[in-house]
Structure 1
Amino acid sequence: MPGPDLPLDAPLDVPLTDHRATLDDVDARTLYRLLRLRVDVFVVEQECAYPELDGRDAEADAELLWTAAGDEVLGTLRVLRDPDGTQRIGRVATAASARSRGVASRLMRLGVARCTQRAPGVDVVLDAQAHLADWYARFGFVVDGPAFHEDGIPHVPMRRAG
């Protein structure tokens, strides 16, 4: 990992690997690391007590994507199919040590590409924390409905045309 004297936006100088698997195909230790990162970010850091394990990871066509440095999971997201057939990206989380170093952007590009592979021409949706809407816009997403609060955090629905 970068030393403490590097600026926060310094690129990571370790080899990164990207992974994709269904819940059934993730080994137990990696799954633990993925879920730990999501809990660290969404429950602990953002102080939101909510059911992180919502059942959607176990859906037949759900896929978990993550970027790692060795065994350390630096970022993760999941790709789902909503009941109306749209593809959904969710649970985008990056380890504090990897933020502003391109890990989340790398994962979003992978997630969008995976959605396009899974269902060409189908829209991709996500619910963004409102302060990140401009960041998601970099990947072709536009606000697609009224803002709402989830666990006390303002969100906006976003859509990327398929």
Structure 2
Amino acid sequence: MDFEASQTAKWCRLQQMSPLDVHDLLKLRQDVFVIEQTSLYQDIDGKDPDALHLLVNDAVSGALVGTVRVTEDAEAGKARIGRVVIAPAARGTGLGRKLMLAGIEKVEEILPEGVIDLSAQAHLESFYRSLGFVTVSAEYLEDGIPHVDMTRRCGAGN
């Protein structure tokens, strides 16, 4: 997946990140999910050490502008894309679509015949549909925010 020339992107495991990368990852998720969305929930859920993380930084300032997390269960042939977050300064630039396309591409690389699951904030359901995801649940509250479960087969295209 190609990002803007003004951005750097790298996939890594938590153990491969610098302490500053870990700090910036957790701070961005906290700033958006907990503070901005006023949702008290346990962001550090024990899944980060086993996940793949895409970190997108501003090439000039070095600031983390977006991230996505991929967890996989190869035995079950499933992966989950989550913790998709964009810094306020980078919103409206198409970064969300690029993060999701990169996540889908990474899952298809790992599990070419697999299924991708996600829990989408309900107001973003049409965005995820545009990426080939199908809604598979009724709307429910997760951490006080309406969500729906969605799924997509690897190789489904757009």
Unaligned runs of 5+ in 2: none
Unaligned runs of 5+ in 1: 1-11
Say whether 1:147 aligns with 2:147.
no
Query: Do 1:67 and 1:103's aligned partners in 2 also have CA atoms closer than 8 Å?
Result: no
Q: How far did residue 95 of structure 1 move?
A: 0.4
Q: What per-residue deviation string (whole Å, max 9, x for no partner) do you get for residues 36-60 of structure 1? A: 110011000000111110000012x
TM-score computed with the length of structure 2 as normaliser: 0.89
Query: Do 2:77 and 2:113's aligned partners in 1 also have CA atoms closer than 8 Å?
Result: no
CA distance in 2, matches of 1:14, 1:126: 29
CA distance in 2, matches of 1:127, 1:13: 27
Say whether 1:86 aligns with 2:86.
no
What SS class does the counterpart of residue 145 from structure 1 fall into? coil
Q: How far did residue 13 of structure 1 move?
A: 7.8
Match of 2:88 in 1: 96
Q: How far did residue 85 of structure 1 move?
A: 3.4
Match of 2:97 in 1: 105
Alignment of 1:38-117 (within 5 A): 38-59=29-50, 62-70=51-59, 71-82=62-73, 84-117=76-109
Q: What per-residue deviation string (whole Å, max 9, x for no partner) do you get for residues 108-154 of structure 1? A: 11000000001001010100000000011121111012221101100
CA distance in 2, matches of 1:138, 1:99: 18
One-letter amino acid of the structure 1 residue matched with residue 19 of structure 2: A
Residue of structure 2 aligned with 1:30, choices 18, 21, 38: 21
Work out the number of aligned pairs and report it: 149
Say whether 1:21 aligns with 2:12.
yes
Query: Do 1:33 and 1:73's aligned partners in 2 also have CA atoms closer than 8 Å?
Result: yes
**Percent pairwise identity:** 38
TM-score computed with the length of structure 1 as normaliser: 0.87
